[in-house]
Chain A
Amino acid sequence: MSDPTVFNRRDFLKLVGVGVAGTAAGCAKPPADKLIPFLVAPQDILPGVPYFYASTCRECPVGCGTVVRTREGRAIKVEGNPLHPVGQGGLCARGQAGLQGLYDPDRIATPMIKSGGAWKKATWDEAIAAVGEKLKAAGPKVAVVTGNETGSLHRLVGEWVTAARGRHLVTEAFAYESVREANRANFGRAEIPVYDLSKARGVISFGADFLETFGRPVEQARGFAAMRAKKDDGAGWFVTVEPRLSSTGCNADEWVAPTPGTEAALALGMAHVILAEGLARQGQGLAGLVAAYTPEAVSQQTGVPAETVQRLARLFAKTSPTLAIAGGISTQGDHGTALVAATNLLNWIAGNVGQTLRFDRTLNFDAVASFAQVREFAGQMAQGAFDVVLVHGTNPVYALPAWSGFAEGLAKVPYKVAIATHLDETAEACDVLLPATHALETIGDAETVRGVHSLQQPTMKPVPMFDARSAGDVFIALGTAAALPLVLAATWADYLSMQWRPMLARYGAGRDWETFWGDTLKQGGVWDDVPSPAVSWQGAPAFAVSSVRGDGDLSLIVRPSNNFHDGRGANKSWLQELPDMVSKAAWGSWVEVHPETAQTLGVSSGDPVKVTTAAGSAELPAYVYGGVRKDTIAIALGQGHTAYGRYARGRGVNPVTLLSDGMDAASGALAYHGVRARLSRGSKAAALARTQLEMGLHGREIAQIIPLVDLLKGEPETGPEQAHGKERGFQMPGHFAAGEGVHVGVDGSMTRPGEHTEPLQRPNGYVPPAHSVSAAPLHPVRGPRRNPVDVGSYKNAKHRWAMAIDLNACTACAACVVACYAENNVPVVGPDLVMRGRDMAWIRIDRFEERVAPGAIDVRLTPMMCQHCSDAPCEIVCPVYATYHNPEGLNAQVYNRCVGTRYCSNNCPYKVRAFNFFDYSATEKPTFAFPAPLNWQLNPDVTVRSKGVMEKCTMCIQRILEGKGNARDENRPLRDREIQTACEQSCPTQAITFGDLLDAESAVHQKSYGERKYWVLEELNTKPGVTYLQRVTRDTLANEAHA
């Protein structure tokens, strides 16, 4: 252990255990308050050497396996754990931002007791004693409200509540009641199934935002990319059925926009067609169920043409296996269960159940109460059923509408205790605050997925400025103080250890306890394969479509946010600054309005509008979006906090307040859609901080696509003239079914065919660049693709670092953006500066949308970062060589040398350079971006830039150096993919590949010289080091013929 050279990133798991021992032993009571510098360094920890701890992400109920990188005793980066079955090495934006929860400057620092409406600081002993007294007095009139903790904490709370003879309520904003209820009714399993997209050859989603929040987004994204990578004919299509085109739906080949709430009818119509045409693989006897749902009837109800229903049904049934997913907001109507049941029927008759829809490693929502149960609980609170309520890890006062009665009921409880990290809306309503430790500094476990027992490892000593205790310890202390008839371990860690003892017999494989425990911590948990239970169709609830209530001419959709989930991520500045992938707006709320609706109202993006429903009204900026139906508006959840912290409070609107009374009677789910709304012009000068204002591609070839049929043809047999003669510019990925089913190609290019472009071998469908620099094609302007390594100073170089970005895999989940903020100390600048175009992101996701036909849009997403050009325009214009080309092909930026002429940015065609307009690193300035202890997260390997210098993507040069150093120390050549950039590591779909272009065997070389490659703005001859792979589009019309 004393030899630092044995460390490397690939083999980190070998080393984790030792670090674990020290930290785990010290986590209950930190021996010293100072984490850095190491005045007396623990023997096991070497300064400058990163240590990795396997843990479990607690940012949402999915619980992906993580690996936390620590330096000198501080957690600095959270990454996916490649060994862990949940997440499989990917981690979403919310998971990446978990660190900011740990170092949040607004965490509760000490226990506090409310007296006279104001919070007063208290000691732990005082607070525990005070609560203990109340608990004693309350007797059985005690309730504990928690989030979906699962694992040992769930059991501890359970035991605690049983001993107190009280009540334990588990709440989650998205409890997926309708999914569970429908699966119970259809298959006898009240569970959220596994959607195995990787096995599917086609997916139809009924409003499920399965790449954002629904289900297990990271794994589903990985599966989705695997499905989209399928190349055989007819494979990998994705049709999305939703009234508002979600970020997930933007990846689809075809968008079908039914009348809001009628998705179930469309699914049943498809089932009708499949059964009627004898395409079903099983369950032919179920035809009677859907007899009423003829395509014509469905067309009447949904507004989707009958031919589309038939076509989709044939497409769905003829390719196999396929998958129909219902989830997210579409299942949160007053007949959401019926929609899930309808898709279950589709999956059943298409033979997908047991293949792509399975019940093996299902998500553990067993204990989560439905909204109806929460409401019932709220009623009990209001009636005085409880004298003491303890709340931990959930924020129902914010997340639930006022008519649920939760806030009202809680207010009637005489004594409320919050065991919380933040003073959120629910904690604000309590009488005592007991600061809880963050998941990253607490030992714990979770069983979020059946058969997967994840361990949550403390990655560092608790941040000393917060006098917090783990929730488990607090419950143990409260149990003792209240003299509950309960025998618990002395500490939470002991309790956990006891809980895990039985695992030894099952998973020990002959190891002793110490070895088993150490190995398990290193691995992140234990898991075994869960056999997929055979399920059969057991019956269906009554089918119906969700209704839209109230008056108004618009249907309101309240949707979860990719950034904040149900709102719990709102106090993380990375997530606030991360623009929404649909509107590219950050730091606020907006309402998505169809262009024609906006035109009628006379508003454009950023103008204030007022949304009025039966429940209330809210004023917020409009965002004009071609991806919502004319009769629909949409608002994202997550903003509009009245408490929680400096980044969340008073920002945007909480659309839950607009929801009027509505529930799914079958499952007890809250109806997030189904409310009518009116839109009027607002009065307040609202402002929308958008990082991208122009969504049109203007015929420029930044985001390229290739139809699958062209890809399958391989190299073009035709000359350039044919290629030029084909449609260019935007091509519709599919077509718009809700109205005009026309296949329109819009000629966006104005280059005259054959005249200004050279005869260059190009795949079919290749669209010639609009910009060509020579009028006479005597010499090829863009010669054969030149390896950027064989020119100039690269001749003697050992590496040429490069990247390949597969647009076919990218789903715009934006995990890479947050990962980059975390890895590279990118400052967060806040809404005012974002509005003035000063966001500092090193990697961003450019979004382009084009109206290809009336009502239909084609969305293209391109991650954009420094292209590390071989002939970089920025380099020649820098007067002081602050940006220069290093021998390994990187476009390096020397902050120390930068004078700040900004010429490099002006000359960069990709505009990927960010300028430090203010001193974001100066503690005394108002622009300081890292208020303590957020500054603890800063990566010590990366400079924090000062005012007046330019910065940009370095391809994580610190990681390159680390990897090279490790290889050198071990006296071996670098291995391919040994070095991973932060964006690449986090990418759930592995769309980003980094590596050495000089290594012909490397993955990046294969991709950069393989099919679908192109360079963005290739015609400028910058010879980028980042190669993009065209997105493959599938024509769902053509597929029908093939299948």
Chain B
Amino acid sequence: MTTTTVESVGHGGDPAEHRPITAKSLNDDVLGIIGLPGKIWWAVFLLDLAVLAVALAAVRNLIVQGWGTSGFMRPVMWAVDITNFVFWVGIAHCGTLVSAVLFLFRSHFRRAVYRVAEAMTVFGVLTAAMFPAIHTGRPWFDYWLFPYPNQRQIWANFRSPLEWDVFAVNTYLTVSSIFFLVGLIPDVAALRDRTKHPLMKLLYTILSFGWSGANYQWKHYYGAYLFFAALATPLVFSVHSVVSWDFAMALNPGWHSTLFAPYFVAGAIFSGVAMVINLLIPIRKIFKLEHIVTLDHMEKLAKLVLLTSTMVGYSYLTEIFMAWIGPNKFERDLFFSRAFGHYWWAFWIMATCNVIIPLVLWFKPVRRNMLAMFILCIFVNIGMWFERFTIIVTTLYRSFNPANWYPYKMAWTEVALIVGSFAWFFMFFLIFIKALPAFSIAEIKETLPPPMRRKH
């Protein structure tokens, strides 16, 4: 049996990339990750849960004692809570982009990376959705935000951007979960056939929806996949636009801007792709999958980071330029204070990490150096977190009336919320790695040369 590499594989220097892929080796490589976890996995997982426990203690304080245990005050009534929300929604953005938009555009490099991106999306939304839920003063009444028929005949306020958020996030969670599960069907079926453990077998049986690989199933499968891809595509732009309107619809200087929707979408893709890179690099290294997720794939993601970085940078400049040229003194003062005021460091962390550091991606050796990429993408995500922090906190702490200017100081509960959100996300992701195929076997196999055509 002759061997070949995946067709989109480039010709990188790493010999590991040239390991041959066959249908069997692909199954073995990808499904081999799954199974009973080892000691290292358990160590990481328990550490993760420990961090999560601290965060839960913080959440307990915030809810039981009150949000007074945070650093919030008049005028900064949102800070880490909504920063985290926007950050994780942004992270969640990339999955749909990679799987749906690139699918529609027939960008084949997505095949190697989209499963991780989709999983990241679902878990990212799960993380993000937590924050609007717990950030309220009385979270036990959160259900009032849903327009459900009730005896009091009170309806939710559809003019409120927060209400739009409820729908945007829930829609996105629903669609991205369905998309994720549909994409999993053929792979889970393969997994089902290999699994011995009865409980896991049952789970996989359910998730594979009776998949047998029959021709008509493939036909319907691809029809459905295309349909969901078309359905999900607008969401890529809508969700984060809606999230941005939480700010843009308010009248505060620094928020009240028509730029916000595209600016937020670009930023979301930027941070999401960076996160995907951060996830893929260790996975392909640890599980020795460099031949499946090749340097070429990674480089294409890096180019996406570079592109969105320039878009984000352009947005920053536009905001500042508009504040400078426009008649609005409040806005001009605000942007000046962002760069040179009490939170100048947050602004400069944001600008450095999001605009200046990614400039090195213009150089191909950097794009193909996985260590450099890993570090750079961490910086990008730090920068993107601070972008949201800057937008929210620096606007609120210096609004219209100077008598209300009051700096915000973060409390430990909020630090715990930040760290905890990562623990929460990685808890899902760690389970995912060990329970579901992290790469799309079915789609990668499409790129393998059919056995019939092999040369003798």
A694 to B396 alpha-carbon distance, docked (Å): 14
Report A830-850 CB contacts with B as 1/0, cut-off 8 Å.
000100111100001011100
B77 and A905 contacting across the interface, CB-CB below 8 Å: yes
- Pick out which of these stretches binds chain B: A184-192, A566-574, A695-703, A1007-1015: A695-703
Q: Does A427 contact B (CB under 8 A)?
A: no
Q: Does B73 contact A (CB under 8 A)?
A: yes
A857 to B144 alpha-carbon distance, docked (Å): 50
A700 to B160 alpha-carbon distance, docked (Å): 28
Q: How many A-B residue pairs have CB under 8 A?
A: 190
Which of B162, B326, B405 is A879 in contact with, Cβ under 8 Å? B162
Within 8 A of B (CB), among A750-799: 750-752, 755-756, 770-773, 775
- Which residues of the other chain, A, contact B76 by a CB distance below 8 angstroms? 837
Q: Does B50 contact A (CB under 8 A)?
A: no
A906 and B71 contacting across the interface, CB-CB below 8 Å: no
Report A672-714 CB contacts with B as 1/0, cut-off 8 Å.
0000000000000000000011111111101000000000000
Report B140-176 CB contacts with A as 1/0, cut-off 8 Å.
0110110000000011110111110010000000000
Choose among B73, B76, B137 the residue with the greatest number of A CB atoms under 10 Å from its CB.
B137
- Which residues of the other chain, B, contact A692 by a CB distance below 8 angstroms? 403-404
B326 and A775 contacting across the interface, CB-CB below 8 Å: yes
Which of B138, B161, B162, B400 is A948 in contact with, Cβ under 8 Å? B138
- Pick out which of these stretches binds chain A: B61-69, B230-238, B296-304: B61-69
**Cβ of B62 to closest chain A Cβ, rounded Å:** 10
- Pick out which of these stretches binds chain A: B40-48, B221-229, B327-335: B327-335
- Which residues of the other chain, B, contact A490 by a CB distance below 8 angstroms? none
Within 8 A of B (CB), among A825-877: 833, 836-839, 844, 846-848, 862, 864, 873, 876-877
**Cβ of B133 to closest chain A Cβ, rounded Å:** 10
B329 and A906 contacting across the interface, CB-CB below 8 Å: no
**Cβ of B416 to closest chain A Cβ, rounded Å:** 18
Within 8 A of A (CB), among B52-78: 65-68, 71-78
- Pick out which of these stretches binds chain B: A110-118, A586-594, A914-922: A914-922
A1017 and B137 contacting across the interface, CB-CB below 8 Å: no
- Which residues of the other chain, B, contact A917 by a CB distance below 8 angstroms? 66-68, 72-73
**Cβ of B445 to closest chain A Cβ, rounded Å:** 47
Which of B66, B75, B326, B407 is A947 in contact with, Cβ under 8 Å? B66
Q: Does A902 contact B (CB under 8 A)?
A: yes
Which of B137, B155, B246, B326 is A899 in contact with, Cβ under 8 Å? B137
A1020 and B400 contacting across the interface, CB-CB below 8 Å: yes
Q: Does B252 contact A (CB under 8 A)?
A: yes
**Cβ of B154 to closest chain A Cβ, rounded Å:** 7
A903 and B68 contacting across the interface, CB-CB below 8 Å: no
- Which residues of the other chain, A, contact B71 by a CB distance below 8 angstroms? 836
Report B404-418 CB contacts with A as 1/0, cut-off 8 Å.
111101000000000
A902 and B78 contacting across the interface, CB-CB below 8 Å: yes
Report B187-224 CB contacts with A as 1/0, cut-off 8 Å.
00000000000000000000000000000000000000
A876 and B159 contacting across the interface, CB-CB below 8 Å: yes
B136 and A900 contacting across the interface, CB-CB below 8 Å: yes
**Cβ of A913 to closest chain B Cβ, rounded Å:** 7
- Which residues of the other chain, A, contact B326 by a CB distance below 8 angstroms? 775
Given A693-B405, A899-B138, A914-B74 contact (CB < 8 Å): yes
B145 and A879 contacting across the interface, CB-CB below 8 Å: yes
Q: Does A910 contact B (CB under 8 A)?
A: yes
- Which residues of the other chain, A, contact B401 by a CB distance below 8 angstroms? 700, 702, 846, 864, 909-911, 1016-1017
B144 and A913 contacting across the interface, CB-CB below 8 Å: no
- Which residues of the other chain, B, contact A130 by a CB distance below 8 angstroms? none
Choose among B74, B154, B400 the residue with the greatest number of A CB atoms under 10 Å from its CB.
B74
Q: Does A749 contact B (CB under 8 A)?
A: yes
Chain B residue at minimal CB-CB distance from A911:
B404
Choose among A838, A914, A950 the residue with the greatest number of B CB atoms under 10 Å from its CB.
A838
A899 and B142 contacting across the interface, CB-CB below 8 Å: yes
A694 and B327 contacting across the interface, CB-CB below 8 Å: no
Chain B residue at minimal CB-CB distance from A950:
B137
Q: Does A542 contact B (CB under 8 A)?
A: no
Which of B156, B162, B407 is A877 in contact with, Cβ under 8 Å? B162
Q: Does A881 contact B (CB under 8 A)?
A: yes
A903 and B160 contacting across the interface, CB-CB below 8 Å: yes
Q: Does A292 contact B (CB under 8 A)?
A: no
- Which residues of the other chain, A, contact B13 by a CB distance below 8 angstroms? none
Q: Does B399 contact A (CB under 8 A)?
A: yes
Number of interface residues of B (CB under 8 A): 57
A665 to B300 alpha-carbon distance, docked (Å): 91
Chain A residue at minimal CB-CB distance from B162:
A879
B327 and A911 contacting across the interface, CB-CB below 8 Å: no
- Which residues of the other chain, B, contact A881 by a CB distance below 8 angstroms? 154-157
A881 to B147 alpha-carbon distance, docked (Å): 12
**Cβ of A807 to closest chain B Cβ, rounded Å:** 14
- Which residues of the other chain, B, contact A833 by a CB distance below 8 angstroms? 68
B154 and A838 contacting across the interface, CB-CB below 8 Å: no
Within 8 A of B (CB), among A390-418: none
Q: Does A515 contact B (CB under 8 A)?
A: no
Q: Does A88 contact B (CB under 8 A)?
A: no
Which of A775, A906, A925 is B77 in contact with, Cβ under 8 Å? A906
A879 and B137 contacting across the interface, CB-CB below 8 Å: no
Within 8 A of A (CB), among B401-451: 401-407, 409
Q: Does A975 contact B (CB under 8 A)?
A: no
**Cβ of A876 to closest chain B Cβ, rounded Å:** 5
Given A876-B160, A881-B157, A898-B138, A772-B66 contact (CB < 8 Å): no
Choose among A844, A905, A911 the residue with the greatest number of B CB atoms under 10 Å from its CB.
A911
Q: Does A21 contact B (CB under 8 A)?
A: no
Q: Does A935 contact B (CB under 8 A)?
A: no
Choose among A696, A772, A837 the residue with the greatest number of B CB atoms under 10 Å from its CB.
A837
- Which residues of the other chain, B, contact A907 by a CB distance below 8 angstroms? 250-252
Q: Does B367 contact A (CB under 8 A)?
A: no
B74 and A773 contacting across the interface, CB-CB below 8 Å: no
Q: Does A225 contact B (CB under 8 A)?
A: no
A876 to B250 alpha-carbon distance, docked (Å): 9
**Cβ of A778 to closest chain B Cβ, rounded Å:** 14
**Cβ of B150 to closest chain A Cβ, rounded Å:** 12
A209 to B166 alpha-carbon distance, docked (Å): 56
Given A911-B404, A918-B68, A901-B144 contact (CB < 8 Å): no
A898 to B136 alpha-carbon distance, docked (Å): 9
A698 to B326 alpha-carbon distance, docked (Å): 18
Given A751-B329, A915-B77, A897-B166 contact (CB < 8 Å): no
Choose among B71, B136, B139 the residue with the greatest number of A CB atoms under 10 Å from its CB.
B136
Q: Does A298 contact B (CB under 8 A)?
A: no
Within 8 A of A (CB), among B305-329: 326-329
Which of A749, A848, A948 is B67 in contact with, Cβ under 8 Å? A948
A756 to B329 alpha-carbon distance, docked (Å): 11
A-B residue pairs, 5 tightest by C-beta: A900-B137, A948-B137, A837-B73, A917-B68, A770-B329
- Other than the known A771-B331, A880-B144, A897-B154, what 7 A-B pairs have Cβ atoms closer than 8 Å? A692-B403, A693-B405, A755-B327, A900-B67, A917-B72, A918-B65, A927-B68
11 CB-based A-B contacts, threshold 8 Å: A702-B401, A751-B327, A833-B68, A877-B250, A878-B157, A899-B137, A899-B139, A902-B72, A916-B66, A918-B68, A919-B66
